[in-house]
Structure 1
Amino acid sequence: MSTNLAALFPSINLLTECPVNIKENVHIFHNEFNNTWMTVERKELTARDYALLTSLFKEIQPTLFSNDSISEKWIQFLLKSGPSPLKEDCDIRIIQLHLKTDDILKSDLNQAVQAYFNDAMQLIFISTHEAVLIEQKASYIHTFDDFSSFIVALESDFFLKVKIYIGKFHSTATLFSSHFIKEKEWFNKGLERNHAEQIYTMEKTFPINLIEQMSDEMKQVIRKEVLEPIEFDMELLQTVQLFFENGFNASVTAKKLHVHRNTLQYRLTKFQDITGISVRYFDGALVSYCASLIASEDEDKAHN
């Protein structure tokens, strides 16, 4: 595997001991199987590369952004089951931010969060590409649209490109780190498998996890009944996938595909004629959506 990784990432450095000094311009990963470490320059990793590596290896989190005591307490609480930094138990949720820009300035993101959320969110940097917003449950709960507008504001006003994962509320009195680590894992899978999304949730990443848990026998049934008849036509599969993800809204789906609505209708009809499955009904759409995810999974495996 190390030879393959070296071919993909020329800057990779394999180590038998964990490096003491963590540089700002590298990621450090721990291979727990053979107890070795590797460093890779951040500029060589795309979001997909990063998601893949973090799914295979444990990232050693740098503390260059977390030198203040409050940030360090939150990191200990979220990642290592440390005590809650809050004085009283309450319900909180974590909004994860994946930062696509290498030269992100902490002050810029702090300014953006303060301008948009005032004091409703606390920003904590975890690593050079990761930060979290901590939201306490209150009378007003920020919505999906709020976070969508926040992303637009980051891009237009601060030229920052981010993807986010909206977590669920849990009590700080519970084993909160286990909730966060699971959400972090789901976020990484979403980044790896569904690149087009900007906002991820449990609901959006659940189908990806469902496909991963599906038996090989069931996957083979879907390949035989859906994928083979359409000859793994990725254009058709992308069409039915977006039609499902956009709530069977033809206008929105056509807009996202950058095609005329008549073209969309033609593709959906063609898919039904070949497979006998109508994606206009939920049961047919669900099977077709699973087929599109299996095809993407097969394609990723073929390229790796």
Structure 2
Amino acid sequence: MTAHLRELYRTAYAADPAAVDDITVYEWFMDNTQHVFGILKEALPEREKSVLQAFLSPVPPYRLYPEEADHRWYRRLFQTADEMKKSYRFVHFAIKQAVDDYFAMQEALRTLSEAPAAVVWFDDVSGVVVLEGEEGEHVVKADVQAAVEALQVDFLIDMTALLGRVHQPDVFPQHASTDERRLLHSLPRQERVITVPEAATHALFQQAPKPMQQLAASIFTDPVDEELKQTIAVYLTCQMNASSAAKQLHVHRNTLQHRLERYQAATGVDLRSFAEASAAYMTIAAEHRDS
């Protein structure tokens, strides 16, 4: 059938997504041999398009993988996992709106590591970057934060990400991906990037009975205004580094210190206590996430 379509559409037929300048001007299909090909939209009447969709699998742009590593990891995550010899690590990402150029986005996502990374999309607004071997082991949260900030500027998108754990080759990729992907939804509103341990902590707080969450709110958030909540959230996110927090809040260190004192006076919470600081952060994060 593919050979017949190639003959029928001639110059409007594209045998390889990676060989065209603009994938968005084509309708893409997959035949029963898993071969992906495209036909120019302007050369494909609606009736013919409907016929092809009835016999072939339509392929959305975000599933057009130009690299073999992308194909390999797509199979591992959605079909059958092969034998792996390297450790691996996922960086899950989500964007609030679809992008116009998925190829450009994929290439930008690969820069999360020195070696080219695989990119697999779950749908048009979420996916995973796969880092293999030592490349994945050496990536830290700050690396992902820098990449997310750059991507948001370059593609004008609102993006969040979760840095997964390092998995050994004997860990089934589908299970590891599914478990971590759930945690991305626990990301607090004021953060763009979160790690698995951080996300798990937030998830545990969400599972607390409602009366306990309300009690926590009455202690840590209800007595103060939004400005103080935001200040405390940033301060704790910055590991209680006053200089970093003041810079992020665009205020003088003295102003920050005054706000911290106001918070303690209003709530009685001593942020020098690890337990109290952790509880304050969890409560504020949960409130921001639910608002």
> In the superposition, relative to structure 1, how do residues 163 and 226 fare at CA in structure 2: closer, same or farther (>3 Å)?
closer
| Displacement after TM superposition at 1:186 (Å) | 1.0
Match runs of 1:183-222 below 5 Å: 183-190=180-187, 194-222=188-216
CA contact (8 A) 2:186 2:199 kept: yes
CA contact (8 A) 1:63 1:126 kept: no
Give a deviation string over 1:121-141, Cα, whole Å, max 9, x none.
Answer: 112233211232111122762
> In the superposition, relative to structure 1, how do residues 266 and 114 fare at CA in structure 2: closer, same or farther (>3 Å)?
closer
Match runs of 1:64-83 below 5 Å: 64=60, 65-66=62-63, 71=70, 74-78=73-77, 80=78, 82-83=79-80
2:262 to 250, 256, 270: 270
Which amino acid letter does the alignment assign opposite residue 73 of structure 2? W
Distance in structure 1 (CA, Å) of the matches to 2:263 and 2:216: 14
2:227 to 228, 235, 247: 235
TM-score in terms of structure 1 length: 0.64
The residue that corresponds to 1:251 in the other structure is 243
Pick the structure with greater CA Rg. Answer: 2
Distance in structure 2 (CA, Å) of the matches to 1:287 and 1:103: 37
2:95 to 89, 92, 99: 99
Distance in structure 2 (CA, Å) of the matches to 1:92 and 1:247: 28
| Displacement after TM superposition at 1:67 (Å) | 5.0
The residue that corresponds to 1:53 in the other structure is none
Establish whether residue 129 from structure 1 lines up as the match of residue 125 from structure 2.
yes
> In the superposition, relative to structure 1, how do residues 217 and 125 fare at CA in structure 2: closer, same or farther (>3 Å)?
closer
Amino-acid identity (%): 21
Distance in structure 1 (CA, Å) of the matches to 2:265 and 2:106: 53
Distance in structure 1 (CA, Å) of the matches to 2:212 and 2:156: 44
SS in 1 for 2:134: coil
SS in 2 for 1:90: coil
The residue that corresponds to 2:272 in the other structure is 280
Aligned residues: 231
> In the superposition, relative to structure 1, how do residues 84 and 221 fare at CA in structure 2: closer, same or farther (>3 Å)?
same
CA contact (8 A) 1:71 1:125 kept: no
| Structure 1 residue ranges without an equivalent (≥5) | 1-23, 25-61
CA contact (8 A) 2:110 2:119 kept: no
Q: Please tell me the root mean square deviation across aligned C-alpha atoms, in Å.
A: 3.1
The residue that corresponds to 1:164 in the other structure is 161
> In the superposition, relative to structure 1, how do residues 213 and 160 fare at CA in structure 2: closer, same or farther (>3 Å)?
closer
Distance in structure 2 (CA, Å) of the matches to 1:275 and 1:260: 23
TM-score in terms of structure 2 length: 0.67
Establish whether residue 181 from structure 1 lines up as the match of residue 171 from structure 2.
no
Report the structure, 1 or 2, having the larger helix content: 2
CA contact (8 A) 2:233 2:284 kept: yes
CA contact (8 A) 2:92 2:129 kept: yes
| Structure 2 residue ranges without an equivalent (≥5) | 1-23, 25-57
Distance in structure 1 (CA, Å) of the matches to 2:212 and 2:201: 15
> In the superposition, relative to structure 1, how do residues 97 and 276 fare at CA in structure 2: closer, same or farther (>3 Å)?
closer
